[in-house]
Amino acid sequence: MTKPVATRLIALIVVMLLIAGGSLAWYRHSRPASDAVSGELARAGIDPAQRAAFEQLVRAYILDHPEILPEAMDRLQARDSADRLKPLRAALETPFPGAVLGNPQGRVTLVEFTDFACGYCRASVADVAALISANPDLKVVVRQLPIIAPESVPAARMALAAAAQGKFAPYYNAMFAGARPDEAGIAAAAAQAGIDIGAARNFAARGDVQAEIDHNLAWARQLGINGTPSFAIGGQLIAGAVGREALQAAVDAARKG
């Protein structure tokens, strides 16, 4: 076997292993990944007598170049995220009426899963605001994901009531500028946003409000989101308070896409 052919086959098998999720398991001599290598070798037309030597060659390549594993796994994770997002994207990008920041008609949509009890979400408010300021074509669909504390739920319900009154952005900003979302904090943020409290409380008790929160929780499970803030844009899932530069890069990629 010539060296160029061997190199191409090594690359092919490494990619195959990573796609199968078995690279590290194969490295540890697990049977399923070893069988996968054998199958790939057979499909490549490699003489069975060369199989053991070639498997050792692939193993040596991985040991000599371990840096390819995290890089390849990152690419695999990105591909997996895109696959999971694709069937949900239209629904995710359709906001609960009024629960939008930025340009409601923007051609680039960033979906933010947030929790008013989340300190990292609070830290991301300035980054999202700067992103909106720098990108006039950006629509930010905010999805309530009340998973951190019991008080997250009434805060999320009030956010949807604020959206129904056209007061979502003021309430969102007031909640994150204030203390943790206890009963007094929620009332203070609602008052600061100019919300009709009586009407908002009635609205927050409606079934469609609970349905919205249930949908967000279900989508988060489907997407593997287990913390806030989390963002979805184009084919990307972004976990955590990653900062303005990373979010801008994602917006740029989505715009090009």
Cα 146 from Cα 5, distance rounded (Å): 53
- Claim to verify: residue 241 and residue 209 sit in the same structural domain: yes
Strand runs (DSSP E) across the chain, as ranges? 100-102, 108-114, 138-144, 230-233, 236-239
Same domain for 145 and 28?
no
- For residue 124, give both structure tokens: 């991301």
CA angle 51–53–54, rounded 5-degree value? 65
Q: Are residues 127 and 46 in the same domain?
A: no
Q: Closest Cα to residue 233, out of 96, 93, 130, 106?
A: 93
State whether 32 and 97 are in the same domain: no
Q: Is 105 exposed, middle or buried (0-12, 13-18, 19+ CB in 10 A)?
A: exposed
Residue type, 16: M
The pTM of the full predicted model, rounded to 2 decimals, is 0.73
Regarding whether 230 and 110 lie in a shared domain, the answer is: yes
**Do both 178 and 148 map to the same domain?**
yes
- In three-state secondary structure terms, 239 is strand
Alpha carbons 125 and 139: distance in angstroms, whole number: 15
**What is the reported pLDDT for 23?**
44
**For residue 184, what are the β-bridge partners?**
none
CA 12 to chain centre: 29
Amino acid at 83: D
> Do 102 and 201 belong to one domain?
yes
Task: Identify the residue whose tokens are 């100019």.
Answer: 194
**What letters, b where the CB count within 10 A reaches 16 and e where it falls short, cover 64-76?**
eeeebbeebeeeb
HSE (side-chain half, CA atoms, 13 Å) at 181: 30
Which residue matches tokens 């989505």? 254
> 18 and 58: one domain?
yes
Domain that holds residue 51: 3-66
The mean pLDDT values, 10 residues at a time, for the chain of 257 residues are 51 51 43 54 66 70 68 59 82 97 97 97 97 98 97 97 98 93 94 97 97 97 93 93 96 92
pLDDT of residue 235: 87
Place of tokens 């697990």: 30
Residues 177 and 215 in one domain: yes
- Looking at residue 131, its pLDDT comes to 97
Position 28 scores a pLDDT of 43
Clarify whether residues 243 and 161 are in a common domain: yes
131 and 249 both lie in a single domain: yes
Q: Looking at the 3D structure of the chain, how many domains does it have?
A: 2
Are residues 96 and 216 located together in one domain of the fold?
yes
